[in-house]
Amino acid sequence: MSVIRHCFTASFFMLFLTTPLYAHKTVWVLIHGTFAKNAHWYRKGGDFHQALARAAGPESEVRSLSWSGENSFEAREKAAERLTQKIIQRYSPNDEINILGHSHGGNIAILVSQKLARQTPHYTIHQLITLAPPVELSMYSPNMNHIKSFYNFFSYGDMVQTVCLFFGRVFPNHPRVWNIQLMHDGRCPEHGNVHPKELAFTLPHLHKLVSQNNTPVLHLFSNKKPVVKEDERREQELQQDRRTMERLLVSIHYS
């Protein structure tokens, strides 16, 4: 009897050691931009939402944050606070939280990183992904102490992101920040088209795709696999982009 009891105890102890005390969740949160509360892409049933759910697998949660969409810092601050509280209330610090925001939705995600830093030291955003956010560091600077990897997508075909050159396209250099130029079927997409479903399919594998490139260009295609190339002329292209935008503003002013 003592031998049987000893074997049972040993088996139970080994089961305890090999069974994780907590199985972490993988969560994706999609955020729309200004004036886009009724957009379809980020909602359940939308093409981007569906593609990401397929790519991430059934064990992952894909959620969407709907906010007022008003064009004000106060509206974005309120949305960020609501998402921060949902993360703290619903999830464990061990869960893998990924947040993706389009346009000012990306700045809401950045505000969440700031709020997590102030409110709790335990939570980290696994991947923070911004799609064409108006870059303004005095208000929207990502707290990299609470972000494992930060990916910022931009397109030279986007005439909205910089908002008459009051905002930028890219974030400063950092070992865990990737500014990624986006191409889709050989074109630079416009502001409303920087969230194609092909991008959603890449997100669970994004780090493997771009981590070896300092200035990556992600080429997406409707009928073949994505291709990543190094943008060897990034600085020159950004300068040319700014000059083009300046000429466009001047022509609009005098037209």
For the chain, state the CA radius of gyration: 21
| 5 is a domain residue | no
pLDDT of residue 249: 86
Q: Whole domain around residue 54: which residue ranges?
A: 24-254
pLDDT of residue 14: 45
Question: Contact at 8 Å (CB) between 32 and 66?
Answer: yes
CA-nearest of 230, 243, 143 to 179 is: 230
| 137 is a domain residue | yes
Using CA of residue 199, residue 131, residue 70, residue 74, what is the dihedral sign?
positive
Structural domain count, the chain: 1
pLDDT of residue 121: 87
| 188 is a domain residue | yes
232 CB-near residues (< 8 Å, 6+ apart): 215
| 175 is a domain residue | yes
Question: Contact at 8 Å (CB) between 119 and 141?
Answer: no
pLDDT of residue 252: 73
| 15 is a domain residue | no
| 216 is a domain residue | yes
How would you write the pLDDT of the chain (255 residues) with one tens digit per residue?
Answer: 554 455 544 444 444 444 444 568 999 999 999 999 999 999 999 999 999 999 999 999 999 999 999 999 999 999 999 999 999 999 999 999 999 999 999 999 999 999 999 999 899 999 999 999 999 999 999 999 999 999 999 999 999 999 999 999 999 999 999 999 999 999 999 999 999 999 999 999 999 999 999 999 999 999 999 999 999 999 999 999 999 999 988 877 676
Q: Which of helix, strand or coil describes residue 216?
A: strand
Using CA of residue 100, residue 102, residue 105, residue 108, what is the dihedral sign?
positive
pLDDT of residue 144: 98
